Structure 1
Amino acid sequence: MNYLSAENLTKSYGDRTLFRDLTFGLSRGDKVAIVGANGSGKTTLLSILAGAMPPDAGLVSLRKDITVGYLDQQPDLNDALTVMEVVLAGESAQLDAVRAYEHALAHDDHAALERAMVDMEKLEAWDYESQIRQILGELGIQDVNQPVSSLSGGQRKRVALARVLIQNPDLLILDEPTNHLDLEAIEYLENFLNTNNGTLLMVSHDRYFLDRVCNQIAELDNGQLFTYKGNYAYFLEKKDEREMAAASELAKDRNTFRRELEWMRRQPKARGTKAQYRIDAFEDLKEKTSGKRNDGDLDLNLRMARLGSKILEVENLSKRFGDKVLLDHFTYTFKRPDRVGLIGKNGMGKTTLMNMLTGQLRPDSGKITTGGTVKFGYYTQAELDMPENQRVIDVVQDVAEVMKLANGDTITATQLLSRFLFDRSKQYDYVSKLSGGEKRRLQLLLVLVQNPNFLILDEPTNDLDITTLNVLEDFLLNFPGCVLIVTHDRYFMDRLVEHVFVLEGEGKVRDFPGNYTDYREWRDSQPKRNADRGVTTASARAASSVSAAKNQTSASGVSPAGNAAKKKLSFKEIREYETLEKEIESLEQRKTEIVGLLNTGGHHEQLTAWAREIDQIDQSIAQKSDRWLELAEYI
């Protein structure tokens, strides 16, 4: 069943054509990701397919009987509303019922309340608000009553994502859905999309996410769309085959072009004396060979300032904001070449720690000692403050006119921009004309051009295309200084870091030996009751032991998690487990009774009391179910 069809789409900005006569189709059950280089037009294409932007030419057709949910890269939310009000502002029959119910309650409309309750029961919408809270909580939004105006850019994106997911549309169109999510939220979204039977179209650069969620990859390259049936790993294999075939064809075309060019030069200048068909063929061949381009390689072979033996010592570092403790006596001595990943849920203090290490924020207590040769390069989530009316070349020249490479050679700002894949015409574009990914690449250049030897990278993968990510990874693998990384890109972190700082809450930090996947495997092997405890010296030693055991047993295929002793419940816990089963059953029976009473009607005050009791029962069932599941792991 065809859900979406696009025929002969064309879109240009000024004298730059993003794509011409592009055709695309989407069928029910497809999960398609659009990938491509920064500035290739992915977001523009997605906006056109979602109906948010008109094409210059061509037609987009949607099946009439389907619902569509669209997540923009920069969602527009009403600042006058609360988080819950924004999410309820979506479109679905259940949301309509919830809104009608809330409106009737607020206005003491007895007749409307009775009708709303009937609709709530018919559409099974009584649990809808708790579902909304669950999705928001999984995405890192706990306070559903806070005003949208108080949210950060990342929080606004997560609220917009929750609004789209709760609608459960037939077709989901998502632009960079994993940006601004922490690692656990990404894994939740990954599982949500994998278990959802809907159809998905998205733009993403998260390679693990692409590999695990998508069954098709569409690459937008030089104005053309190449579609591959399979996941991201399959796409890489087939793309390589396509590029090899294209390179061979280009070599043949260029040989032919050279022969035809020689023929054109030998012939008389009067066009009438030459075979017109051959002239036309020559012009076509000229356009074909000049139109083909090599993306080139992003060259990051820049010089690094010398790093001495003393680098960075952190002793008993503490920081809190109000009642929230972010760091509590954190101690660590950085060595060369440390490669550390920093992980934790949003709001745990990752950015706060980085700001303190770089001197942008003072700790409440503790000491940070920085070596005399240390030169920080701090790449932040916030875009650099670059004047939109300034040209790209001028932005770089304001920082450095010339730059030294690792081999001692000197290059100009123009040459440096070329190495960062800004061609000559792009260098003289205004900053306002750059795509989000191009701005991030320019920001990365401005950090590296200062010759840092201690890189602190806060979400460096946001908006960067996959080609740039691969080259950045290779650069960091060979970077001789220290690296501290915060990223939601699990592939990026797994490839680069050697140990991770896990911010676990209440100021506790676990120093775990291994990358992110190592930590997740270890954490999943632990009893749930202990998984969220804070760091102690004993737990740090336990983490080291698990990592060592993992290395020792990997050859034999034995998992250390499989050898972990299973915790036994105490007699008291067994009794609690049995009691919880009965309590949950009793609560569910009471809820059924109240729903029956609601359907019979009654006085307004009584109806309101019953509705509130249902809310209380739902909360109690959720709490008791969580505890029951926790105990059930050890039965």
Structure 2
Amino acid sequence: MEPITINNLTFAYPGQEPLFNHCDLNISSDWKLGLLGRNGRGKTTLLKILQKQLSFQESIQTNLKFNYYPLVIREPNDYTLNVLMRSGYQGEQWQIERELNLMATPTELLWQPFSSLSGGEQTHVMLATLFAQDGYFPLLDEPTNHLDQDGRKQIAQYLKAKKNGFIITSHDRDFLDKVIDHSLVIEQHQLVLTRGNYSDYFVHKEQRDSTAIKKNENLLKDIHHLKQTRQAKSQWAQQAENEKKNNSHADKGFIGAKATKMMKKATIMKGRLDTAIEERKGLLKEIENVVPLTINVLPTNHQLLLSINDLTLSYPTKQLCSNITATIEKNDQVLLCGNNGTGKSSIINAIIGTFSGKQSGDILFSSALKISTVRQDYSDNHGSLRSFASSSKINYDQFLNLLRKLGMERATFNVPIEEMSMGQQKKVELARSLAEPAHLYLWDEPLNYLDTYNQQQLIQLIQEKRPPMLIVEHDQNFIKQTATKKIEI
């Protein structure tokens, strides 16, 4: 067991508020630690600091060597085994095969081009490579992205069975409950450590929030009372000054001295009250609130928006899906479900005309149908938010307002999109879709990289507005609360 000791950690990106402010922490290497927190709070940054990829104040002491998910992938069209070997892996092929067997994942994937694997299959082979490497402590940044429900169960069982520890970030509550035994949460520039899984942390947080809300209510009452007292004292002193002005010359000496004394006393009292008010304001605690989102749904007189008839998709060496028939009507929230590699994303690409493989069957649209998408891969989003809004033909002010509601700090508005965190980039992609006027929304794994607050925002929005949607998603809580029907592949 090797410790990770953090002493007085402070870190901020240039021109931004500190992500961490004088933080102290001790972590044991045998913990299965969930690193949690809202997007943009510094989860990935902390993982980079542990790997000494960023400079920071004070120290982190450990003898551990770290490896990191996702791997840096070079020449993805090569065989998967060759790609993994180039990623920095220093072990043997049989060790990777051993880990794949523990995941119940076919070892034949190693002899397929990495680029041909589904997102879930790529996750499996990269995780296998990390855990096959002896003498390293794994840092896992959002490994549940792109995993279907069966894949998440497989990886959860695999990680739970591991004897060694790791640090993992994820926003899938059910997955974390099965995997972690400690939670480290970034809250208001501080690191909050809790023993137990995500649900244990959430119960603890609700108790702290409930206590904080009661304290806030009492402090606000104190502040209101102090302000009333301050106003009364000011009026009292002003009355004395008016009395001085309105009396005869004979009385002015006495009254003037009295007024001066009262004014001085009132000034001292006001200063004390001001100090007391500011002290109580400083004690107020910030409570996370779920702010409602908006969506720019266009009205339509068409009941049937989209019809898919006998759709079959394939690549030269791989069959994806066959004979898919389905309809989407204006009140539908349709879940497109199936295992990784069965062609869910490819169906969305076929609908919008970007599928590059072989396609047969019909896709029919209602007249003048406008479609908005949330894509899995949005690496082509770049530049300033203003130029991005302009090129996307969306209202800039509405776009920024949605980003603020999603929790993006105003300071981030000046950061180029390609330099934002993955969670912030996902919010840009999502806010663009919400701001686009559309009759139908095609969302491909919209919850990837979004924290639980953002997930709840989307659930509330879909439940209240019921926009017509075709969704690919694996989060069971989201599916249960939003989907009105399913298309099985």
The answer to whether the superposition gives a TM-score over 0.5 is yes
2:434 pairs with 1:434 = no
8 Å CA contact 1:31, 1:213 repeated in 2? yes
Distance 1:91 1:72, change over 3 A: closer
Q: Which amino acid counterpart does residue 449 of structure 2 have in structure 1?
A: D
Partner of 1:356: 350
Q: Which amino acid counterpart does residue 243 of structure 1 have in structure 2?
A: D
2:101 corresponds, among 134, 145, 150, to 134
Partner of 1:39: 40
2:407 pairs with 1:421 = yes
* 1:63-109 Cα shifts (integer Å, max 9, x gaps): x4xx6452245x324549753245457899xx65x48xxxxxxxxxx
**191-200 or 228-237, larger mean C-alpha shift:** 228-237
Partner of 2:196: 230
When the two structures are superposed, what TM-score results if normalisation uses the length of structure 2? 0.79
8 Å CA contact 2:395, 2:435 repeated in 1? no
8 Å CA contact 2:96, 2:128 repeated in 1? no
When the two structures are superposed, what TM-score results if normalisation uses the length of structure 1? 0.62
Q: Which amino acid counterpart does residue 208 of structure 1 have in structure 2?
A: D
* 1:436-477 Cα shifts (integer Å, max 9, x gaps): 111211211111212323221111111111110111122123
2:165 pairs with 1:199 = yes
Q: Which amino acid counterpart does residue 76 of structure 1 have in structure 2?
A: V
Q: In the aligned structure 1, how far is the partner of 2:410 from the partner of 2:219?
A: 25
Q: In the aligned structure 1, how far is the partner of 2:279 from the partner of 2:342?
A: 58
8 Å CA contact 2:73, 2:87 repeated in 1? no
8 Å CA contact 1:68, 1:173 repeated in 2? no
State the 1:136 CA deviation.
Answer: 8.3
State the 1:357 CA deviation.
Answer: 2.1
1:371 corresponds, among 356, 366, 372, to 366
Q: Which amino acid counterpart does residue 485 of structure 1 have in structure 2?
A: I
SS in 2 for 1:481: coil
Higher relative contact order (CA 8 A, sep 6+): 2
What are the within-5 Å matches in structure 2 for residues 109-508 of structure 1? 128=95, 130-131=97-98, 134=101, 138=105, 142-145=108-111, 158-167=124-133, 171-253=137-219, 259=226, 285=279, 288=282, 293-307=286-300, 308-361=302-355, 364-372=359-367, 374-383=369-378, 385-388=380-383, 390=384, 392-396=385-389, 399=392, 402=395, 412-503=398-489
Aligned residues: 454
SS in 2 for 1:500: strand
Any unmatched runs of 5+ in structure 1? 100-126, 404-410, 504-635
Partner of 2:240: none
Partner of 2:252: none
SS in 2 for 1:34: strand
What are the within-5 Å matches in structure 2 for residues 454-603 of structure 1? 454-503=440-489
8 Å CA contact 2:72, 2:87 repeated in 1? no
Partner of 1:592: none
Distance 1:194 1:336, change over 3 A: same
Q: Which amino acid counterpart does residue 445 of structure 2 have in structure 1?
A: E
* 1:165-190 Cα shifts (integer Å, max 9, x gaps): 22265743211111233333322111
8 Å CA contact 1:133, 1:144 repeated in 2? no
* 1:341-391 Cα shifts (integer Å, max 9, x gaps): 223333321111111223334863322211226432211111163333x1x
SS in 1 for 2:334: strand
8 Å CA contact 2:120, 2:148 repeated in 1? no
Partner of 1:10: 10
**186-195 or 307-316, larger mean C-alpha shift:** 307-316
**365-374 or 250-259, larger mean C-alpha shift:** 250-259
Q: In the aligned structure 1, how far is the partner of 2:415 from the partner of 2:279?
A: 29
Q: Which amino acid counterpart does residue 213 of structure 2 have in structure 1?
A: A
8 Å CA contact 2:422, 2:449 repeated in 1? yes
Q: Which amino acid counterpart does residue 72 of structure 2 have in structure 1?
A: D
Q: In the aligned structure 2, how far is the partner of 1:296 from the partner of 1:320?
A: 45
2:72 corresponds, among 73, 76, 82, to 76
8 Å CA contact 2:66, 2:137 repeated in 1? yes
| Percent of matched pairs sharing the same residue | 23
Any unmatched runs of 5+ in structure 2? 238-259
SS in 1 for 2:19: strand
Q: In the aligned structure 2, how far is the partner of 1:149 from the partner of 1:415?
A: 37
8 Å CA contact 2:304, 2:327 repeated in 1? no
8 Å CA contact 1:141, 1:155 repeated in 2? no
Distance 1:13 1:263, change over 3 A: farther
State the 1:286 CA deviation.
Answer: 7.9
SS in 1 for 2:456: helix
SS in 1 for 2:380: coil
**141-150 or 229-238, larger mean C-alpha shift:** 141-150
Q: Which amino acid counterpart does residue 468 of structure 1 have in structure 2?
A: N
8 Å CA contact 1:342, 1:502 repeated in 2? yes
Distance 1:135 1:91, change over 3 A: farther
Partner of 2:247: none
**146-155 or 331-340, larger mean C-alpha shift:** 146-155
Q: In the aligned structure 2, how far is the partner of 1:331 from the partner of 1:147?
A: 31
State the 1:2 CA deviation.
Answer: 5.4
Q: In the aligned structure 2, how far is the partner of 1:53 from the partner of 1:284?
A: 40
Partner of 1:57: 57
Q: In the aligned structure 1, how far is the partner of 2:411 from the partner of 2:268?
A: 35
Q: Which amino acid counterpart does residue 149 of structure 2 have in structure 1?
A: L
SS in 1 for 2:449: coil
State the 1:4 CA deviation.
Answer: 1.8
Distance 1:57 1:490, change over 3 A: same
Partner of 2:249: none
SS in 2 for 1:244: helix
SS in 1 for 2:18: strand
Distance 1:163 1:378, change over 3 A: same
State the 1:38 CA deviation.
Answer: 0.9
State the 1:192 CA deviation.
Answer: 0.7
Q: In the aligned structure 2, how far is the partner of 1:256 from the partner of 1:196?
A: 53
* 1:249-273 Cα shifts (integer Å, max 9, x gaps): 3444555667489879979999xx9
Q: In the aligned structure 1, how far is the partner of 2:389 from the partner of 2:4?
A: 43
Q: In the aligned structure 1, how far is the partner of 2:349 from the partner of 2:206?
A: 41
Q: In the aligned structure 2, how far is the partner of 1:293 from the partner of 1:430?
A: 28
8 Å CA contact 2:31, 2:165 repeated in 1? yes
Q: Which amino acid counterpart does residue 47 of structure 1 have in structure 2?
A: K
Question: What's the RMSD between the two structures over aligned residues?
Answer: 3.9
SS in 2 for 1:144: helix
State the 1:20 CA deviation.
Answer: 0.9
